Amino acid sequence: MDESSWKTSITQVEPNQVRVRGYEITDLMNEISFGAAVYLILRGELPSQKVAKLMDAILVSSIDHGVTPPSALAARNATSTGGSLSGAVASGILAINEFHGGAIEKCAVQLGHIASRCEKLDQPLDQVAEIVLDEMKANGDRMSGFGHRVHTKDPRTTTLLELAAAAGVDGRHMHAAWAVQRVFEASGRNLPINVDGAIGAILADLGFEPAVMNGIFMIARAPGLVAHVHEERTTQRPMRKINAANHEYAGPSSRSVADA
């Protein structure tokens, strides 16, 4: 072997053969969902069926959230200037940071911190959560993954938490998330766990490293961004002033997947 060669464990490509993490890509194409494939490529192993369903739900839950999220606005603004598809989608991806999409990673880290502190000090979880939240407030920091500009009871969060329970995901991060929600509730603040918080707690309890978590949001949101760029390009004039508050939904009215 060439001494200067370097190693990769992700995908093996040989003439007429492609194996992802050792599995024939054709078998994966025939047998697993995209969520399971994302789990496989990031973790190196296939998930159980219930975890695969949970991964699919995480990806679907984050596919789009209308025109107001900063990533959609960034992508539309870039399109409006005549930007390319790749440039405009990249602009959207670049807007995924600590307070949008990126709350997933930070929430997982913060929940892990609460759980570790509870285990180390052998104190009740709610008490530790309260101390940590007070410290954050004193430092001008926020608990990522809680609160929402639009939703007080986000349907995505409820469904994800139900699917997580069905998949047996109920570890230290999930427990810490419930404790944080209880402490906020007890202090009279309506800051429920949001979709990013639910995803952060779930992914952390599934054993994902925080460093890849925002990437999962990017994977999920990319189709939405492509749709926004294409709609902007094909239905709006260039260089328009984009006022997110002034938009009107003009798509199909409510319909059922069961009737599709």
Which spans of this chain sit near ligand COA (rule: CB under 6 A)?
A: 99, 103, 142-149, 191, 194-196
Nearest distance from C-beta of residue 87 to ligand COA, angstroms? 25
Nearest distance from C-beta of residue 116 to ligand COA, angstroms? 20
Closest CA to 34 of 216, 160, 224, 260: 216
By the 8 A CB rule, do 103 and 196 touch? yes
**Geometric angle at alpha carbon 59, from 57 and 61, rounded to 5°:** 65
Nearest distance from C-beta of residue 42 to ligand COA, angstroms? 21
Question: CB-wise, 99 or 238, nearer to ligand COA?
Answer: 99
Helix (H, G, I), strand (E, B) or coil at 142: coil
Going by C-beta distance under 8 Å and a sequence separation of 6 or more, which residues neighbour residue 122? Answer: none
Q: Is 217 left (phi over 0), alpha (psi -120 to 50) or beta?
A: alpha
Question: CB-wise, 42 or 143, nearer to ligand COA?
Answer: 143
Question: CB-wise, 79 or 144, nearer to ligand COA?
Answer: 144
Nearest distance from C-beta of residue 208 to ligand COA, angstroms? 18
Question: CB-wise, 39 or 217, nearer to ligand COA?
Answer: 217
Question: CB-wise, 145 or 210, nearer to ligand COA?
Answer: 145
d(CA 176, CA 171): 9
Nearest distance from C-beta of residue 158 to ligand COA, angstroms? 14
Task: Please compute Rg for the chain using Cα positions.
Answer: 21
Closest chain position to ligand COA (CB): 147
d(CA 22, CA 42): 13
Question: CB-wise, 142 or 182, nearer to ligand COA?
Answer: 142
Nearest distance from C-beta of residue 168 to ligand COA, angstroms? 25
Reported for 37-42, long-range contacts at CB under 8 A and 24+ positions apart, including other chains, are: 38/216, 38/219, 41/10, 42/208, 42/212, 42/215, 42/216
The neighbouring-strand residues paired with 17 are 14
